[in-house]
Chains A and B, each alone.
Chain A
Amino acid sequence: DIQVTQSPSSLSASVGDRVTITCRASQHIANYLNWYQQKPGKAPKLLIFASSRFYGAVPSRFSATGSGTDFTLTITNLHPEDFATYYCQQSFNTLLTFGQGTRLEIK
């Protein structure tokens, strides 16, 4: 299986801050990397697919990049509604795997 490792596992930040979450795949996955946001008690919500493509009405303060094994999700000018848990997911092959998640908390 392709493993995806997220870092950090948790992150404290303030409204207005800029944060970056990293996802590293255990092998080359081209741009087959997706990002989700999950709030407590809710289903995950797709934010980014194919490494950097927005899905739906994602605010422009979100950006994502990466290819191969290393990927990042950056949020600038954090809004209160951005505090959530973020997951990456690789879709390079049919054995889909998620990262362990990054919990973004208000400082």
Chain B
Amino acid sequence: QLQLQESGPGLVKPSETLSLTCAVSGGSFSSGTSYWGWIRQPPGKGLEWIGSLHHSGSTYNTPSLKSRVTIFVDTSKNLFSLNLTSVTAADTAVYFCARQHSAYDRFFDSWGQGTLVIVSS
């Protein structure tokens, strides 16, 4: 059974870089048509898609975060990562990693449990 597990610091200072990793186990990561995504949820608010990538390295992300987002993959370790630069308090959220079914079926059918990241000095 596919499992995804987020990891990373729970506290990041303003203006610094938020870095998270998602480890994928129990399924095919570097073959097949799946994409892999990051979604976040500020406390008490709704879901916001951040970006998605394929194991080949092809990525796309939300323009609302502009050039602050980098999503990259390490197929040797079956994981993908998120970097979000120049964070502010508005970036405080639970960050989820998830499997996107495919390039054209862009829904998320398997999710990690989420990790809370607080931006504060």
Q: CB within 8 Å of B: which residues of A?
A: 1, 32, 34, 36, 38, 42-46, 49-50, 55, 87, 89, 91, 94-101
Residues from chain B with Cβ under 8 Å of A89 in the complex = 47, 49, 107-108
Q: A49-B105, A89-B107 are in contact. Are A44 and B47 (CB under 8 A)?
A: yes
Residues from chain A with Cβ under 8 Å of B64 in the complex = 1
Q: CB within 8 Å of A: which residues of B?
A: 37, 46-49, 52, 60, 62-64, 96, 98, 101, 105-109, 111-114
Interface SS of A by simple majority = loop
Measured CA separation A100–B106 after assembly (Å): 18
Residues from chain A with Cβ under 8 Å of B105 in the complex = 49-50, 91
Which residue of A is nearest B112, CB measured? Answer: A43
Residues from chain B with Cβ under 8 Å of A94 in the complex = 52, 60, 106
Residues from chain B with Cβ under 8 Å of A34 in the complex = 107
Q: A97-B49, A98-B48, A99-B46 are in contact. Are A91 and B113 (CB under 8 A)?
A: no
Are B46 and A87 within 8 A (Cβ)?
yes
4 shortest interchain CB distances as A-B pairs: A91-B106, A43-B111, A34-B107, A96-B49
Measured CA separation A53–B63 after assembly (Å): 29
Tell me the smallest distance from the CB of B97 to a CB of chain A, in Å: 10
Residues from chain A with Cβ under 8 Å of B111 in the complex = 43-45
Q: A43-B96, A43-B114 are in contact. Are A100 and B107 (CB under 8 A)?
A: no
Q: A43-B96, A43-B114, A95-B63 are in contact. Are A55 and B47 (CB under 8 A)?
A: no
Which residue of B is nearest A49, CB measured? Answer: B107
Are A43 and B113 within 8 A (Cβ)?
yes
Measured CA separation A38–B113 after assembly (Å): 12
Are B109 and A46 within 8 A (Cβ)?
yes
Residues from chain A with Cβ under 8 Å of B47 in the complex = 36, 38, 44, 87, 89, 98, 101
Residues from chain B with Cβ under 8 Å of A43 in the complex = 96, 98, 111-114
Measured CA separation A87–B112 after assembly (Å): 17
